[in-house]
Amino acid sequence: MTAYILNLLVLISVYAILSTTLNFIIGYAGIFSLAHAVFFGIGGYTAALVAMNVTPEFFVAVPFAMAAAAITSLLLALPALRVRGEYFVAASLGLQVLAVTLFSEWKSFTGGIGGVIGIPAVELFGYPVYKPWQFLVMSLICLVIIIVITRTLVHTSFGRSLKAIRDSESAALASGKNITVIKTLSVVLSSSLAAVAGALYAFYMSFINVQSFMLDTSVLVMAMVIIGGTATIMGPLVGAALLMLMPSALTYLSFLPQTEIGSIQQIVYGLAMVLLMIFRPGGIVSAHPGGGK
């Protein structure tokens, strides 16, 4: 039971990193992306290859993973951020679909459908981290650092510019802000930090394949942000914990058909989001229950 709980806590911390980084662009810049799983996957695959072919040292593999995700995000951000709202969502969806195909077919990088196996234990200054409790501590430290980074940025002039763009892009443009550059930097930062979660996931599981980085994952992470509460510190954390605990909770309901747990889970996600949009648009954690920022 202890091992099960530790495993669940590690996965919650990994998805909390993902939801926190997505919240940075959704909550503070008003940019909705359906491609966050792409950068999650790029981080995982890159860290795995560096660990297997160069070194499993955390402070080598993770920067490579972040750089790869940042560069890839430019392919989405530079052309797509010249348009608004739903057009960026469509562009991010296109990237997500393309990435799944590449993850499935680019066997020299991703191992194809079979994935990457035999990923070595991550090392910190030469010491391997392989015990679940050690990995939990490391992932929580990464989560705290990422929260500090995003919260610090939000309270700088860059963060104020992001919120200005979120509230009124036309007004921000009229005030002289370079909207394309600001939005591009926010997407690059969010994507590179999401790669940290991918690296942690790859090292923890010792195996990754395309199934972990599909559209369902992007939708799940977005649901964590929206259900938890956008533009808050605790919202993405609460959302990640709730949606990661839900499958485990559903399995204890004996009257539910166990073979349909996945479908029931999707129904619960959708129902929760609909109810929240009606009764608490700002999410579970929100200073403005009516949905205001």
**pLDDT digit string, tens, across residues 165-210:** 888 888 888 888 888 889 999 999 999 999 999 999 999 999 999 9
Mean pLDDT of all residues belonging to the chain? 89
Q: pLDDT tens digits for 57-98?
A: 999 999 999 999 999 998 877 776 666 667 788 889 999 999
Mean pLDDT of 238-244: 93
Question: By CB neighbour count within 10 A (0-12 exposed, 13-18 middle, 19+ buried), where does 278 fall?
Answer: exposed
Q: Give the Cα separation of 229 and 285 in Å (integer).
A: 5
Task: Please choose, from the candidates 230, 229, 228, the residue with its C-alpha nearest in 3D space to the C-alpha of residue 239.
Answer: 228
Of all residues in the chain, the percent with pLDDT exceeding 70 is: 95
| Confidence band for 251, pLDDT divided at 50, 70 and 90 | confident
Q: Give the Cα separation of 286 and 271 in Å (integer).
A: 19
Q: What pLDDT shows up at residue 291? A: 46
- pLDDT(288) > 80: no
Top pLDDT among 2 and 144 is at 144
Q: Give the Cα separation of 192 and 40 in Å (integer).
A: 9
Q: What pLDDT shows up at residue 293? A: 41
pTM of the complete model: 0.92
